[in-house]
Structure 1
């Protein structure tokens, strides 16, 4: 295991957990609420380029991958057993459900609800950005000329 300072270790852990360098930096380094996002991004970016921090992040990601693979393998084995039992009992519907479960775990199927939520979220974010740009434009046009 690569040794880092306590704050850098926290940064690596938060980064693996959250996926955002800025958020990880804010949490690990107890950044004050009024700090500029640009400075946070710059400091977080520097940390991500540090060879020891990069190596530690990769170690943590590998652990997560191994844990995930073990869980998926176990679930796939259970679904195989359930499918075999369902076929032996002539329960075509249960066998089909087990097969569909394997397909979902493998990423071959996505529930319509998942897609709908993702698209709705994207539309909401786009609408918010458009409103923010319009508000900024209004503020700029209302400023008195000097």
Structure 2
């Protein structure tokens, strides 16, 4: 499982110009699943996303507080292309998990975030939809996290 986490001042997801979700200050989490991922990867990533210290503390010291510490929002967006690899000049998505299973794990990820945090603070896009993601990156700060249980096939 891989996430690209961006600290944002605001973010939103639209489909066909219709607003699906939006957040203020917090993080936008792009989420991709490798075909070998399991619930163990979801558990790992849930803990990492909620504990990642991307924010200043009250004294202005950097990297001291998490999104949860600050009671900020989280916008999650499924993105199968995170496991894309280039085959010459064309993307190859053979490492990406197939849609039905990826959707199950994505829903599990959202549920676990809401269980360990405040459900009203967790927003998401539309799994499998052609979305427009509008991100106002704060910093900019962008962090990539991949679960350690990855077993890539060659």
**Band of TM-score, shorter chain:** under 0.3
Larger helix share, 1 or 2: 1
TM-score of the pair, normalised by structure 2:
0.22
Q: In terms of Rg, which structure is larger?
A: 1
Higher relative contact order (CA closer than 8 Å, sequence separation 6+): 2
TM-score of the pair, normalised by structure 1:
0.22
